[in-house]
């Protein structure tokens, strides 16, 4: 008996959700299809009923994760007195550093995805472009909004990557976050 379209859609969504968290937490190469499917409570063979390949899954996960991050930051900015400072404080935070599975795909996977398959490379490039465009829309940065948003995004991603890389020394990692938050705000004229 064939499964209903609704069941297939729910199963696909479960795979995407698990893959998004696992890829961001453990890395793309570290997550095999069997591991992913086991984590999702499904059998390995069922994967290909939903995705043509792991690369196709990675591309969709990157798009969805980055869209979710952009929407989250948009909500943060919308309710803030100073949208840019709020975005910086939220992105360059201990919570983001400590929970890569819930955070920005670019900060978690950018360098790994850039070394990946052509589909993954194209997807990460598209997501970077969209992330910068969304950040420019979300913030009020001035006449060079796109370029300012690009520099801000690069700084925020870099801060989180450095804080994660130095997490073995908790005090230094916290210092990285604090210094980068304050310097990024100065860079865009938003002093704390």
**Ordered per-residue pLDDT tens for the chain, 192 residues:** 566 889 889 999 999 999 999 999 999 999 999 999 999 988 888 899 899 999 999 989 999 999 999 999 999 999 999 999 999 999 999 999 999 999 999 999 988 877 878 888 888 888 889 999 999 998 877 778 889 999 999 999 999 999 999 999 999 999 999 999 999 999 887 554
Map out the domains of the chain with their CATH numbers: 53-187 (1.10.357.10)
Angle between helices 105-114 and 54-78 (to 10 degrees): 150
* pTM (whole model) above 0.85: yes
Residue 103 DSSP symbol:
S
DSSP string, 25-64: HH-TTT--HHHHHHHTT--GGGGGGT-S-HHHHHHHHHHH
Query: Are 70 and 42 in contact, with CB atoms under 8 Å apart?
Result: no
* Whole-number pLDDT of residue 2: 63
* Whole-number pLDDT of residue 188: 85
* Whole-number pLDDT of residue 115: 83
Query: Are 34 and 98 in contact, with CB atoms under 8 Å apart?
Result: no
Judged by DSSP in three states, 21 sits in helix
Residue 169 DSSP symbol:
S
């Amino acid at each position: 008996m064939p499964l209903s379209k609704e069941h297939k859609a729910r199963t696909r969504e479960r795979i995407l959700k698990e893959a998004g968290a696992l890829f961001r937490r453990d890395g793309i190469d570290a997550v095999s299809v069997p591991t992913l499917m086991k984590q999702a409570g499904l059998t390995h063979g069922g994967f290909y009923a939903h995705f043509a390949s792991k690369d196709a899954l990675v591309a969709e996960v990157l798009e969805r994760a980055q869209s979710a991050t952009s929407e989250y930051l948009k909500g943060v900015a919308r309710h803030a007195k100073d949208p840019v400072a709020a975005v910086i404080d939220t992105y360059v935070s201990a919570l983001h550093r400590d929970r890569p599975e819930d955070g920005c795909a670019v900060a978690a996977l950018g360098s790994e995805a850039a070394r990946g398959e052509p589909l993954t490379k194209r997807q990460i490039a598209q997501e970077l472009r969209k992330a910068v465009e969304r950040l420019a829309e979300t913030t009020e940065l001035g006449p060079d909004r796109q370029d300012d948003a690009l520099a801000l995004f690069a700084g925020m991603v870099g801060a989180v990557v450095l804080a994660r890389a130095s997490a073995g020394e908790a005090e230094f990692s916290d210092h990285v976050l604090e210094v980068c938050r304050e310097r990024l705000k100065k860079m865009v004229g938003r002093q704390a």
